[in-house]
């Protein structure tokens, strides 16, 4: 197992529903667990998708993850795993503000659509309104469910960079396997080769992003 001095909290947030928060949260949790870290997932979405996915799973990576339903914010202080991943609901609430404030990193999954990008922007605005003082929390946008051959994808990437929005180089393709693994309550790690490579690449990029910010 790799050394991890302190708990790293990653929150998945976008005001726009259907951006892929739960799917990305669960699969990144599996990838981080696969490396050898201990992982907890907190499902703060009232729908409970991530909790149901992990809790009913026979996937070895997901079975090793401690998963919790929506509970009090204070309970997070009692978690001692290397990583805590928080799946939030698609709305701006006082509860979300508290989760964002506890984050080491906020990941905003975005489909290549105006509504998703606008939803990402509201997270940035919400963070500024929290007035966290010197506790500057980084936001990393992940383009999710994309067609890599699409010209609009490259246009969106250029626009995000022009706007100064930190965007992951790894994009997650639109693949049937993400829906299949959701139904079967497993992760894509080891299930689909190309999806596994993308999720592992994104995991490495997130680790590198975090190390630069420390």
Domain ranges of the chain: 8-213
Tokens representing 41 are 């997932």
Whether pLDDT at 9 is above 60: yes
The predicted structure's pLDDT at residue 107: 95
Please choose, from the candidates 136, 135, 140, 138, the residue with its C-alpha nearest in 3D space to the C-alpha of residue 161: 140
SS3 of 57, please? coil
Over residues 97-101, mean pLDDT:
86
Asked if residues 186 and 57 have their Cβ atoms less than 8 Å apart, the reply is yes
The string over 42-64, giving b where at least 16 C-beta atoms fall within 10 Å of a residue's C-beta and e elsewhere, is bbbbeeebbbbbbbebebebbee
Q: Are 19 and 109 in contact (CB under 8 A)?
A: yes
Q: What is the mean pLDDT of residues 180-194?
A: 97
Interatomic CA distance for residues 152 and 147, integer angstroms: 9
**What is the value of pTM for the model shown?**
0.91
pLDDT at residue number 126 = 83
Cα–Cα distance, 108 to 178 (Å, whole number): 18
Q: Which of 32, 10, 33 is nearest to 21 (CA)?
A: 10
CB-CB contact of 117 with 23 (8 Å)? no
Q: What band does 75 get if pLDDT is binned at 50, 70 and 90?
A: confident
Average confidence (pLDDT) over 200-211: 94
User: Which is it for the CA torsion 194, 197, 200, 204, positive or negative?
Assistant: negative
Task: Determine the Cα angle at 80 with ends 77 and 81, to 5°.
Answer: 125
Q: What is the pLDDT of residue 131?
A: 66
CA distance 53 to 86: 14
Q: Which CATH superfamily is domain 8-213 in?
A: P-loop containing nucleotide triphosphate hydrolases (3.40.50.300)
Q: Which residues of 178-191 are buried (b: 16+ CB within 10 A; e: fewer)?
A: beebbeebbbbbeb
Tell me what pLDDT residue 39 has.
Answer: 97
Measure Cα distances from 142 to 117, 170, 173 in Å: 11, 7, 11
The pLDDT of 83-101, averaged and rounded, is 86
Whether the pLDDT of residue 5 is over 60: the answer is no
């Amino acid at each position: 197992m790799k050394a991890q001095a302190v708990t790293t909290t990653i929150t998945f947030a976008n005001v726009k529903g259907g951006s892929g928060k739960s799917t990305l949260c669960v699969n990144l949790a599996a990838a981080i667990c696969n490396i050898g870290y201990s992982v907890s997932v907190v499902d703060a979405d009232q729908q409970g998708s991530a909790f149901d996915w992990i809790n009913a799973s026979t996937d070895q990576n997901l079975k090793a993850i401690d998963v919790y339903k929506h509970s009090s914010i204070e309970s997070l202080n009692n978690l001692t795993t290397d990583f805590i991943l928080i799946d939030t609901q698609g709305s701006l609430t006082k509860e979300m503000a508290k989760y964002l404030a506890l984050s080491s990193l906020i990941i905003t999954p975005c489909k290549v659509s105006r509504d998703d990008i606008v939803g990402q922007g509201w997270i940035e605005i919400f963070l500024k309104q929290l007035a966290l003082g010197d506790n500057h929390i980084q936001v990393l946008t992940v383009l999710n469910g994309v067609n890599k051959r699409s010209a609009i994808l490259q246009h969106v990437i250029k626009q995000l960079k022009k706007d100064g929005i930190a965007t992951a180089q790894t994009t997650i393709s639109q693949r049937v396997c993400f829906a299949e693994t959701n139904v079967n309550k497993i992760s894509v790690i080891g299930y689909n080769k190309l999806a596994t490579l993308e999720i592992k690449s994104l995991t490495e990029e997130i680790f590198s992003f975090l190390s630069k910010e420390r």
